[in-house]
Amino acid sequence: MPLRPRVVLSRRWPGRAESLLAEDYEVISNAPDQPMSASDMREALRTADAFCPTVTDQVDAGVVGAPARRARILANFGAGFEHIDLDAARRLGIVVTNTPDVLTDCTADLTLALILATARGVVSGDRMLRAGDWAGWRPTHIPGVRVGGKTLGLVGFGRIGRAVARRARAGFGMRVRVFGPRPLADEEARELGVEVCADLDDLLETSDFVSLHCPVTPVTQRMIGEPQLKRMRRGSILINTARGALVDEQALAEALRSGRLAAAGLDVYAREPEVSAELKGIDRVVLLPHLGSATRETREAMGMRVKENLDYFFAGKEPPDRVA
Ligand code: 8YV
C-alpha cells in the first residue's frame, strides 16, 4: 500500500473536508472546479490510487477501463451512483463506494421546502413583490393550497423517503402513502404511520402531492411519463429531489400547461445543468439547481464519509459504503 495514497477529486470540496483528507492522503484537487473530461478522468485513474467523482462525472466503461490504470477505488462524493458503470467496475475488480445517510435529512428538508414553495406561492410571491406588482393585501391574492390534511405519495421509500414521511406527518399533518420496490411489513408501516399503495397507479390516483425518492435504473427511468401524469389527481403537485431521468420532462410540461398538475417543484433534471426551456417558461414550476445536499454541514460530512471509505480501503478492510 502506498504510504500516502494519491487521491484525485473531480471537483472542489468544502475547504475543511479537503484539509482533513490531506492529512492522510496526497490530494489532487480540481482548482478550476470545472467538470473533468473523459480523458482527464482516464488520466486520474492512470496516475492516482483513488478517484472521487461526483454526479457531474460520467464514469463510463471507457473511463473505468482506462489502460495502465493505477486506481483501485472510485469513492463517489454523493449517494446516487448511476453515473458510474458498476458492471465495468466489478469486471475490473475496482471498488466503488458512495456517501449515504449523511445527506438524508438535508435532502428531506429540501423536499419539504419544495412542497411548501409550490403549495404556497413562495417563489411567485417573491417575484411579484420585487417586480413592483404588489398592490397590497387582499383576500384573493395568491391563493395557495393548504398542506395539512393532504395526501403525500412517496415513490421510493428508502432513507430519504422515510425522512420525508416523518417530517410530513409530524410537522405538517399530512397523510402519507408509499410505494417502493421493497415490500413493507404491516407492522413497520403502522409504526411509521404510512399506508402502503398496491402499485404506482394507486399512489398517483390518491395523492395530492407526489414526491420521487428512488434511484434511476433501467426500470425507473422515465417512470413518470404521460400515462402516469394522466393518472395524477387534477390540481396535484409533483416534487422531484431524486433524479431528473425519472421524469419525462416534456410530458410534465404538457401536464402543467393543460392544468392537470397545479405545480411542480424540481431540484433535478434529465440533462443537468441544462433545464428544459419549456419548464422554465411555466411560472408554476419552482426550479432549484440540484441543492438537495447543499448545506455546509452535509457537504463536509459527505467529504468525511468519502475519507472513511478510503481509510478502510487503504487499510485493507471492507469499506462501509461499498456499492460494487
Ligand atoms: C449530491 C445527490 O450532492 O448524493 C446525491 O445523490 O444527488 C446530491 O445531493 C451529488 O450527487 C454529488 O455527487
| Distance of alpha carbon 77 from alpha carbon 273, whole angstroms | 18
Q: Is 301 in the pocket of ligand 1 (CB under 6 A)?
A: no
Ramachandran assignment for 93, one of left (phi > 0), alpha (psi -120 to 50 degrees), beta (any other) = left
* DSSP states along 203-268: HHHH-SEEEE-----TTTTT-B-HHHHHHSPTTEEEEE-S-GGGB-HHHHHHHHHTTSEEEEEES-
In this prediction, residue 3 has a pLDDT band, given cuts at 50, 70 and 90, of confident
CA of 100 relative to ligand 1 center, distance in Å: 10
Give the Cα separation of 46 and 70 in Å (integer): 5
Q: How far is the CA of 294 from the centre of ligand 1 (A)?
A: 9
Q: Which of 24, 18, 19, 20 has its CA nearest to residue 5?
A: 24
The four Cα atoms 213, 215, 220, 222 give a dihedral, to 10 degrees, of: 80
Main-chain dihedrals φ then ψ at residue 52, nearest 5 degrees: -115, 95
If you take atom 1 of ligand 1, which residue's CA is the nearest one? 78
- Alpha carbon of 64 to ligand 1 centroid (Å): 20
Position 126 confidence tier, pLDDT thresholds 50, 70, 90: very high
pLDDT by residue (tens digit) across 130-162?
Answer: 999 999 999 999 999 999 999 999 999 999 999
Residue 272 is among the residues annotated as catalytic for this protein: yes
Mean model confidence pLDDT for the chain: 97
Its pTM stands at: 0.97
Active site residue 290: yes
* Predicted confidence (pLDDT) per residue in 259-279, tens digit: 999 999 999 999 999 999 999
Region 182-188: what's the mean pLDDT? Answer: 90
Report the SS3 class of residue 167.
Answer: helix
Q: Which of 43, 110, 56, 51 is nearest to 82 (CA)?
A: 56
CA distance 180 to 173: 22
Pocket test for ligand 1, best of 290, 306, 321 (most atoms within 8 A of CB): 290
Confidence of residue 183 (pLDDT cuts 50, 70, 90): confident
Buried b (16+ CB within 10 A) or exposed e, 31-46: eeeebbeeebbbebbe
Task: Give the number of the atom of ligand 1 that is nearest the alpha carbon of residue 53.
Answer: 13
* For range 274-293, the mean pLDDT: 97
Active site residue 243: yes
Tell me: pLDDT of 209 over 90: yes
Q: Is the pLDDT of residue 203 over 90?
A: yes
**Atom 12 of ligand 1: nearest residue by CA position:** 78
CA 111, 116, 118, 121 torsion: positive or negative? negative
Identified catalytic residue from 162, 290, 299, 305: 290
pLDDT surpassing 70 at residue 2? no
pLDDT digits (tens, 9 = 90+) for 40-65: 999 999 999 999 999 999 999 999 99
Report CA(289)–ligand 1 centroid distance (Å).
12
Task: Output the pLDDT for position 167.
Answer: 98
What are the pLDDT digits (tens) for 63-115? 999 999 999 999 999 999 999 999 999 999 999 999 999 999 999 999 999 99
Q: Is there an atom of ligand 1 within 6 Å of 55 CB?
A: yes
How does pLDDT run across 91-102, given as a tens digit for each residue? Answer: 999 999 999 999
| 1, pLDDT greater than 80 | no
- CA distances from residue 188 to 162, 184, 191, 194, 311 in whole angstroms, order as listed: 11, 7, 5, 9, 35
121 lines ligand 1 (CB under 6 A): no
